[in-house]
Each structure stands twice: as structure tokens, then as C-alpha cells.
């Protein structure tokens, strides 16, 4: 796990400044505190920060082939590198290290761009082919590792983090109102766009090439729902999955430093601990976060139960409202975009606990819900669509029925009543958003003129609508899984996972998102994933013999944080002063009265916690990345809070 950056000037006579490359690598030092490396060759520069995980002695980057004609900087892990290395040695390639990085340059020599399809792992890398004067950028299939870039008239600049690109003074900091409109729709920013105009994400499963002044991107992988193996029973599918997960977790434990497990007390992370315990060569550590407050489930008892069952050395931590508030500027600085993910703060402090105890690598259960259909909303929407299909012309009565349930006190009644007369493509934006979420319902009242114009210009649900249309021939469940695997997963969950753990200089690995596991899950009959009220059926069948029933059957939680109560109490004045400050984003682009309605509703326990948190992180983002008059090299929570509040 590392951080990469670089620049290529299109004018070959224009060299890249060494000082610029040093600034770009310095700003991502947290991603790699163990070393720094640079490659400069006229108009091309590659930078690297190293977190030493594999080959601690000879794995420094940038790394080249035998004659120095191909150079690479790499962030991530290639789990099948030993098998690839053996193939390459048989082809005559000579290795000077035992790291996975060197496999990239030699496999590129053999296969060119097609090398990316042979890698099993999480990765973002930049490769410079000196002979062909050609740059290759590539990102892993699912988007576990981030990679950003900007193309100007003069150059392409890229990095693991946006702030590294912003170290180049030629890059202007301008708000992308289209991306902000998407943020108010989804509570994160999906697709290629970022909140900063012109800075893009390289999409998961894509690579980018620059050759002869031409920049082009190519998709090399997509999640395909193959014809289901209907002849396989659930037990047969579970047996195949058990073997696959065992081998996958084993490969993800390759490391020259201690490996631990991030426990949420749920099915997926406990499953990862189960398989990790089978393959651990030494003491296995586990870590979790919990709260004693009644407003959120306490994960700690379930994590302790899992640790006791599988014999891990277990540690726990918790945070206070003050710690949560004080970390928010750093949260935004590391996330680099407005993202509504309060649990990300908890994740950071668990990663910090691991690092403080000498563990630099953590396994996580992230991705199990997207692969094997674990979210209750999937079950509910499948039932709704089945009822709608059966109701035919009597949908009006169905709508009235949901209205009655709403009147009787079921909070979700209004939500499902609104969906009765809509098609899936009209209402399923992603896991986080529908037309009925408060921001979407009230955009006409919330937005000022500039955002109103932007909202009228393009459909806010366009990113996920395009995804749905591309799998319209699939079952409803597979459509839902595809949309979330291509949007919510890479652009929210995996951003959080990467940025918050790397902020603590810890590598997070996600075995359930190995492409072999995803492809296996996509090949299964939908009934092996969801049937009736049962979710994640095949994965639970795998884990039934070993995972405690209390964990296997509990309601999904996943590092919950009592931020709703904190925002009503300890953070109330801070939110008011930040969001309503004179120079805030809200004062420029939103309607103050509507913003106040959101804040008041949240303060009075009338919902809107996600909306108010989103407004808060948007303000902190705007201050640090747009309004702040000086370059931010590292977050300073005290000065950031004072500056934002001081503009009130």
C-alpha cells in the first residue's frame, strides 16, 4: 500500500520541476511514511510514497525493468504475483527484487496493456514506457485503490489523491456544480466526476494511455452476470464458495508485516476472521469500535464473541463527541470530497488502534453485501416488484394499502407508497438515494439560481440510470447489485475504506471483493443469494458450522456512530456556525431558509441527520479546497474550525 503521483508534459522539451514532484509526494506522505522515491526523465515524472508491506529490503519504487526502459509506480497488492513471477522467469525475465511491483513491468513487456487482465488484486499504477514515449495508468477492477487525473492543454497530472494534483499551481480550484448536484442526489459523487472541475477519477476496471499527444481510456473488465448454474444446489454452491474464500483469504494474507482483522461484529467480517485464523502463521489480532449509547447498536459484544471463537488477540476502542467533531476537518481533508459517511470516522480510529499496536495490514468484510445481496432494501424491493406485478390494474389499492401502513405509524410506508407507480429505473438511484430522500424532494426550495440551472441542465440520476439500462435484461436483484457495485461501492464505501485507513498509514484488504469471488457470486442463481426474507443465503450457509448463531442472525449494523445525537447536542452550535457562516457554500449556492429547516428538523429529532451531516462536510470541504487562500499541506483542525466559524 502506497501513494503514487506524476506528471507528463505534452511538450517533450518542457521538463517537470523536481520541486513540484517533491511537493506532490510530500502531501501524500501519510500513504507511505516508510520511504519516498522519484523518477524524472525530462518531461515525465513519477513519484512514490512507500508503506512497506512486501519485500521490506528491496521493494523501493519507482522500479524498472532490466535495462531501465520501463518504469512503474504502484499502489496496492498483486496477490498472484508469485505465480506470475514464475511464468516470467521461464520467459527469460530477470528480477532484482522479490516484490509484487516488479511483476508489473515484466508482464507489461510480455503483454502490453493486456497485462492488467492478469493481475489478481487491488491496484493503481502508472507505467512509463520510455522507448514508445507512452504512459499507462491503470486501476483495479472494483475500484479498491483510487486514481485521479487531470488533462490540461499542456500536461496530464495524476495521483492517488486529489491534494497531490493540487500541489501543482497550474491547477485551478473550481467547484463542479454538476458534481455537487450529484452529491445532493446520492450523498456521494458517483462516476468519473469529482467536486473539483476538470479533476477526474479513472473508473474501476479501466486503464488510460497517453501516446503521441492522444489521451484515451479503455475498459478491461466489467461485472457480468453469466447464465446461472441452475443445476447446482445451495449446498453445492456453498461448498464451492467455501473453497474459493479459503484460498482468497489465504492469498490476501501475504505480507512481511503483521496482519489483523477489522471486526464489525457482523457476518462478513467474522467470516474473514474465520478463514484468516485457518491460515495465520502467527498471532492474529482483531480490532473493533463500539459505543455504550442506546441510540446505536454496540458492536463490541459480538466482536468479542467472534474473537473468542476464533482465538484472535482482540482490542477495542471508542470515541467521544468532541473527538468526532475535532476530527471532521481531517476527515474532509483525507476524503477530499463531500461524502456522507459518519462511520468513516470510526473506521479511522480503529485503523489507528491497529497501527499503534504494530499492525499495518487489516482484512475487512467490505463487499459481502454487494456480492451476495445482504442489504434488507434488496429484499424489500424484490417483494415490492413482485406485488406490483401481481396487482396489475389494482395498483391504486396497493398504494392505498401503503398509505394506511404509513398512517398506522410505519415510517417506510410513504416511501413504498411513492414507488408503487414507478419503474425501477425511475426510483432506484443507488443504496443511498431515491426521489423521496429529503434533498431530492426539496431541491426546488434548497437550491439557489446556479444549482437550479445545473439541475435543469442534466438529470441528477443519470449516472445510475445508465448503469441500470446496461443490465436491463437481468433479474431485478442483479440489476440492484450491479448498480451498487458500480457506484455506491467504489464511490462511497471504498473511498472511505482507502482514505480513512491510509490516513492512519494502514493497508486495508477486502477479500470479498476479489474479482474471482465477485464473478462466482454473479454466476449464482439469484435464489442462492436472496429468497423470501433470507439474504446472503449461500454465504451464511458456508459460515453456519463455525460462526456463532448470535452473529449469523443479527441485524446488520456495521460500525454505527451516534452522530445523530451528537449533532443535536454537543455539535449543535458548531453546525449552526459552520453551515450558516457568511462565506459558506450554503450562503452562495443554497437558500438559507431551507438550510435552516433541515438544521431545525434534525435538532428536534425529526430526521434529516444525513442531510445536516452532508451540509456540514460540504462546508468543511469548500473551506479547505476552495475558499482557503493558502495551499493545504496538512489538516489543522483548530485553525480550520476557527476560520470557518470566524466567517460567520
Average pLDDT over residues 88-103: 93
Convert 436-473 to b/e letters by CB count within 10 Å (16 or more is b): ebbbbebbeebbeeebbebbeeeebbebbbebbeebee
Contacts of 596 (CB under 8 A, 6+ apart): 580
Q: What is the mean pLDDT of the chain?
A: 91
Query: Are residues 287 and 193 part of one domain?
Result: no
Query: Are residues 8 and 126 part of one domain?
Result: yes
Pairing of strands 214-219, 70-78: unpaired
Average pLDDT over residues 267-286: 94
Q: Count the neighbouring beta carbons within 10 Å of the beta carbon of residue 68.
A: 10
- Domain boundary among the residues 552, 580, 600 is at 552
In a domain, 447, yes or no: no
In a domain, 465, yes or no: no
Average pLDDT over residues 53-57: 70
Query: Are residues 260 and 171 part of one domain?
Result: no
Pairing of strands 155-159, 148-151: antiparallel
Q: CA 160, 163, 167, 172 torsion: positive or negative?
A: positive
pLDDT digits (tens, 9 = 90+) for 550-607: 999 888 777 789 999 999 999 999 999 999 998 899 999 999 999 999 999 999 988 8
In a domain, 477, yes or no: no
The pLDDT assigned to 412 comes to 74
Asked if pLDDT for residue 640 goes beyond 80, the answer is no
In a domain, 248, yes or no: yes
Cell readout for 289 is 469500535
In a domain, 25, yes or no: yes
Element (H or E) spanning 252, and its range? helix 234-252
pLDDT digits (tens, 9 = 90+) for 164-209: 999 999 999 999 999 999 999 999 999 999 999 999 999 999 999 9
Asked if pLDDT for residue 632 goes beyond 70, the answer is no
Asked if pLDDT for residue 365 goes beyond 80, the answer is yes
Q: For residues 468 and 479, what is the distance between their CA atoms, to the nearest angstrom?
A: 6
Average pLDDT over residues 357-371: 95
Average pLDDT over residues 353-376: 95
The pLDDT assigned to 394 comes to 65
| pTM over cut 0.85 | yes
Asked if pLDDT for residue 59 goes beyond 60, the answer is yes
Query: Are residues 547 and 582 part of one domain?
Result: no
Instruction: For residue 629, name the pLDDT band (cuts at 50, 70, 90).
Output: low
Residue 318 structural domain: 234-322+342-372+486-552
For residue 71, the SS3 value is strand
The pLDDT assigned to 623 comes to 94
Instruction: For residue 638, name the pLDDT band (cuts at 50, 70, 90).
Output: very low
Contacts of range 127-133, beta carbons closer than 8 Å, 24 or more positions apart = 127/70, 127/71, 127/72, 128/8, 128/39, 128/41, 128/44, 128/46, 128/70, 128/71, 128/72, 129/69, 129/70, 130/41, 130/68, 130/69, 130/70, 130/71, 131/69, 131/70, 132/211, 133/12, 133/211, 133/212
Judge whether 224 and 263 are in contact, CB under 8 Å.
no
Asked if pLDDT for residue 233 goes beyond 60, the answer is yes
Query: For 485, how many CA atoms within 13 A lie in the half-sphere containing its CB?
Result: 32
The pLDDT assigned to 468 comes to 93
Bridge partners, residue 56, by sequence: none
pLDDT digits (tens, 9 = 90+) for 483-515: 999 999 999 999 999 999 999 999 999 999 999
In a domain, 327, yes or no: no
Query: Are residues 121 and 102 part of one domain?
Result: yes
Query: Are residues 352 and 247 part of one domain?
Result: yes
The pLDDT assigned to 186 comes to 96
In a domain, 328, yes or no: no
In a domain, 157, yes or no: yes
Number of domains in the chain: 4
Location of C-alpha cell 456453498: 238
CATH of the domain at 527: 3.40.50.620
Judge whether 102 and 78 are in contact, CB under 8 Å.
no
Least confidently predicted of 32-46, 433-447, 573-587, 626-640 = 626-640
- Domain boundary among the residues 196, 219, 242 is at 219
The pLDDT assigned to 49 comes to 96
Average pLDDT over residues 630-637: 51
Q: For residues 365 and 269, what is the distance between their CA atoms, to the nearest angstrom?
A: 4
Contacts of 410 (CB under 8 A, 6+ apart): none
Query: For 118, how many CA atoms within 13 A lie in the half-sphere containing its CB?
Result: 20
CATH of the domain at 85: 3.60.20.10
pLDDT digits (tens, 9 = 90+) for 415-444: 777 787 788 888 899 988 888 899 999 999
Instruction: For residue 648, name the pLDDT band (cuts at 50, 70, 90).
Output: very low
Q: Calculate the alpha carbon distances from 105 to 135, 209, 608 in Å.
A: 13, 15, 50
Query: Are residues 111 and 11 part of one domain?
Result: yes
Query: Are residues 311 and 413 part of one domain?
Result: no
Query: Are residues 151 and 19 part of one domain?
Result: yes
Bridge partners, residue 38, by sequence: 47
- Domain boundary among the residues 525, 552, 579 is at 552
Asked if pLDDT for residue 332 goes beyond 80, the answer is yes
Query: Are residues 39 and 150 part of one domain?
Result: yes
Query: Are residues 350 and 414 part of one domain?
Result: no
Least confidently predicted of 39-43, 297-301, 385-389, 497-501 = 385-389
The pLDDT assigned to 60 comes to 86
Query: Are residues 124 and 201 part of one domain?
Result: yes
Amino acid at each position: 500500500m502506497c501513494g503514487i503521483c506524476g506528471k507528463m508534459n505534452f511538450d517533450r522539451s518542457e521538463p517537470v520541476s523536481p520541486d513540484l514532484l517533491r511537493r506532490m509526494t510530500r502531501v501524500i506522505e501519510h500513504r507511505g511514511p516508510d520511504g519516498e522515491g522519484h523518477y524524472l526523465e525530462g518531461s515525465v515524472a513519477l513519484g512514490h510514497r512507500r508503506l512497506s508491506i512486501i519485500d521490506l529490503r528491496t521493494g523501493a519504487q519507482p522500479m524498472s525493468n532490466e535495462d531501465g526502459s520501463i518504469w512503474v509506480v504502484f499502489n496496492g497488492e498483486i496477490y498472484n504475483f508469485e505465480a506470475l513471477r514464475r511464468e516470467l522467469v521461464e520467459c527469460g525475465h530477470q528480477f532484482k527484487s522479490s516484490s509484487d511491483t516488479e511483476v508489473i513491468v515484466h508482464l507489461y513487456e510480455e503483454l502490453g496493456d493486456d497485462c492488467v487482465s492478469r493481475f489478481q488484486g487491488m491496484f493503481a499504477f502508472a507505467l512509463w514506457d520510455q522507448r514508445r514515449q507512452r504512459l499507462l495508468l491503470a486501476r483495479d477492477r472494483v475500484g479498491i485503490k483510487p486514481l485521479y487525473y487531470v488533462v490540461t492543454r499542456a500536461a496530464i497530472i495524476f495521483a492517488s489523491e486529489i491534494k497531490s494534483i493540487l500541489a501543482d499551481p497550474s491547477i485551478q480550484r473550481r467547484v463542479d456544480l454538476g458534481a455537487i448536484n450529484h452529491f445532493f442526489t446520492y450523498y456521494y459523487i458517483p462516476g468519473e466526476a469529482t467536486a473539483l472541475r476538470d479533476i477526474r477519477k479513472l473508473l474501476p476496471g479501466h486503464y488510460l494511455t497517453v501516446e503521441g499527444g492522444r489521451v484515451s481510456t479503455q475498459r478491461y473488465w466489467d461485472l457480468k452476470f453469466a447464465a446461472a448454474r441452475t443445476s447446482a444446489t445451495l449446498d453445492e454452491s456453498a461448498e464451492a464458495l467455501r473453497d474459493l474464500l479459503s484460498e482468497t483469504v489465504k492469498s490476501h494474507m501475504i505480507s512481511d508485516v503483521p496482519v489483523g482483522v477489522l471486526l464489525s461484529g457482523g457476518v462478513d467480517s467474522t467470516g474473514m476472521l474465520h478463514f484468516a485464523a485457518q491460515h495465520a502463521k502467527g498471532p492474529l489480532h482483531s480490532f473493533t469500535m463500539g459505543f455504550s449509547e442506546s441510540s446505536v447498536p454496540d458492536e463490541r459484544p459480538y466482536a468479542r464473541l467472534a474473537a473468542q471463537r476464533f482465538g484472535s488477540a482482540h482490542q477495542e476502542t471508542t470515541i467521544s463527541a468532541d473527538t468526532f467533531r475535532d476530527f471532521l476537518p481531517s476527515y474532509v481533508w483525507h476524503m477530499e470530497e463531500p461524502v456522507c459517511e459518519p462511520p468513516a470516522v470510526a473506521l479511522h480510529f480503529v485503523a489507528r488502534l491497529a497501527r499503534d499496536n504494530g499492525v499495518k495490514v487489516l482484512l475487512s468484510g467490505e463487499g459481502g453485501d454487494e456480492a451476495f445481496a445482504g442489504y434488507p432494501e434488496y429484499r424489500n424491493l424484490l417483494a415490492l416488484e413482485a406485488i406490483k406485478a401481481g396487482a396489475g390494474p389494482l395498483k391504486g389499492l396497493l398504494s392505498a394499502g401503503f398509505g394506511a401502513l404509513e398512517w398506522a405509524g410505519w415510517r417506510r410506508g410513504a416511501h413504498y407508497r411513492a414507488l408503487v407507480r414507478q419503474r425501477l429505473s425511475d426510483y432506484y438511484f443507488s443504496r443511498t438515494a431515491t426521489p423521496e430522500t429529503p434533498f431530492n424532494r426539496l431541491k426546488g426550495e434548497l437550491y439557489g439560481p446556479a444549482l437550479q440551472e445545473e439541475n435543469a441542465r442534466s438529470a441528477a440520476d443519470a449516472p445510475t440510470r445508465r448503469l441500470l439500462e446496461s443490465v436491463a435484461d437481468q433479474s431485478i436483484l442483479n440489476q440492484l447489485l450491479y448498480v451498487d457495485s458500480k457506484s455506491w461501492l467504489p464511490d462511497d464505501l471504498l473511498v472511505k475504506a482507502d482514505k480513512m485507513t491510509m490516513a492512519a498509514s494502514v493497508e486495508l484488504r477486502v477479500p470479498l471483493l476479489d474479482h474471482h469471488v465477485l464473478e462466482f457470486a454473479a454466476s449464482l442463481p439469484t435464489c442462492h443469494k436472496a429468497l423470501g426474507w433470507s439474504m446472503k443465503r449461500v454465504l451464511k450457509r458456508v459460515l453456519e458450522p463455525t460462526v456463532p448463531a448470535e452473529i449469523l442472525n443479527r441485524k446488520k449494523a456495521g460500525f454505527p456512530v451516534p452522530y445523530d445525537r451528537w449533532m443535536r447536542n454537543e455539535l449543535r452550535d458548531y453546525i449552526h456556525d459552520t453551515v450558516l457562516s457568511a462565506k459558506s457554500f450554503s450562503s452562495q449556492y443554497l437558500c438559507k431558509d431551507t438550510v435552516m429547516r433541515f438544521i431545525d428538523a434534525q435538532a428536534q429529532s425529526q430526521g434529516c441527520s444525513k442531510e445536516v451531516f452532508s451540509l456540514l462536510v460540504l462546508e468543511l470541504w469548500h473551506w479547505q479546497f476552495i475558499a482557503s487562500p493558502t495551499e493545504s499541506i496538512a489538516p489543522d483542525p483548530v485553525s480550520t474550525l476557527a476560520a470557518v466559524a470566524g466567517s460567520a
